[in-house]
Amino acid sequence: MRSVATNLRELSKREVSLTGGHRLCAGCGAPIMVRQMMAAAGDTPIVSSVSTGCLEVATTIYPYTAWNNSLIHSAFENSAATLSGVEAAYRSLKAQGKIDRDIKFIAFGGDGGTYDIGLQSLSGAMERGHNMVYVCYDNGAYMNTGIQRSSATPRGADTTTSPAGKKIPGKPEHRKDLTAIMAAHNIPYVAQTTPAHWRDLVTKTEKALAVDGPAFINVLAPCPRGWRVPPEETIDILREAADTCYWPLFEVNEGDWKITYRPREKKPVEAWLKRQGRFRHLFREENRPILDDLQAEVDRNWQRLLRLDGEGSSSE
């Protein structure tokens, strides 16, 4: 597969696997991500599974589909298990000489179906070593079913099950670091990125598809309704997430950790939070300690990444 990561013009000419006319919301990060990733695959045949969620519901409304490649709709919790079975069947058929071409497999799931109820399915598929790529589109909550908190929801976020009010100031807990959990599976390739950094996302997709074995990519994908941001600000919000190091861009290639984007000037996490309605309550004086704690958590995680990348020290 020839790299297109440095050639935006060629990338833009690739056949689009996810067509227009789907019913995802304006500004949704998921279709931007999918189009970029599927374009990166080029003319490689792809079989995908998509768990129940925004991406599946809005692109496969019976009797229509917005997908041009082979697609399987899985249940909410088992996109990885579904596709791992297909990949195993493919290997068997290829060994029998019944299939004579190379096919790649990409599973998609939201953070609810990946961080939470799909974690067992994902962990099992990665541990068994299936030659597939799992992609999480992380919008930070169960957006499709009513904006309920997930373990990907940042601390302090106002959701329908962690409402900011007199009892609690939004979600009490910090988010789970799923990318690090996947790296702990010792699989060939793990990465974290955003569709705002298209070159980074495309390059990582190519690397994930090229490895012999399982790969995982975690992609931040804003939900304008759940984040309460204007749809036209999606790309700017994603850039802010990386520039504040709330969502650092990095990869773990055969156990080697590498930061793939370093902001010229690391912005305070408030710059990202203040643009989103779900965090509006945090800017009241009584909630200042939560902002300070969020900043401390971002700083800890960034310093840990620097150490893993070989650049930081515990004294920094």
What mean pLDDT is reported for the chain? 94
Tokens of residue 64, six digits: 């229509």
Exposure of 16 in the CB half-sphere (CA atoms within 13 A): 11
Per-residue pLDDT band at 3 (split at 50, 70, 90): low
User: 170 — alpha (psi -120 to 50), left (phi > 0) or beta?
Assistant: left
Do 104 and 90 form a contact (C-beta atoms < 8 A)?
Answer: no
Q: Look at residues 129, 88, 83 and name the one whose alpha carbon lies nearest to residue 106.
A: 83
pLDDT, one tens digit per residue, over 39-85 is 999 889 999 999 999 999 999 998 999 999 999 999 999 999 999 99
Per-residue pLDDT band at 313 (split at 50, 70, 90): very low
Kindly give the pairing relationship between strand 250-253 and strand 189-193: antiparallel
* Sign (positive or negative) of CA dihedral 286, 291, 293, 294: positive
Q: Which residues of 188-202 are buried (b: 16+ CB within 10 A; e: fewer)?
A: bbbbbbbbbbbbbbb
pLDDT, one tens digit per residue, over 196-236 is 999 999 999 999 999 999 999 999 999 999 999 999 999 99
Q: Beta partners for 220? A: 138
Is the predicted pLDDT of residue 135 greater than 70, yes or no? yes
User: Cβ atoms within 10 A of the Cβ of 70, count?
Assistant: 13
pLDDT average, residue stretch 88-113: 97
**Contacts of 311 by beta carbon, 8 Å cutoff, 6+ apart:** 259
pTM equals 0.95
Do 47 and 10 form a contact (C-beta atoms < 8 A)?
Answer: no
| Whole-angstrom distance, CA of residue 65 vs CA of residue 44 | 20
Architecture of domain 8-308: 3-Layer(aba) Sandwich (3.40)
pLDDT average, residue stretch 237-241: 98
Is the predicted pLDDT of residue 258 greater than 70, yes or no? yes
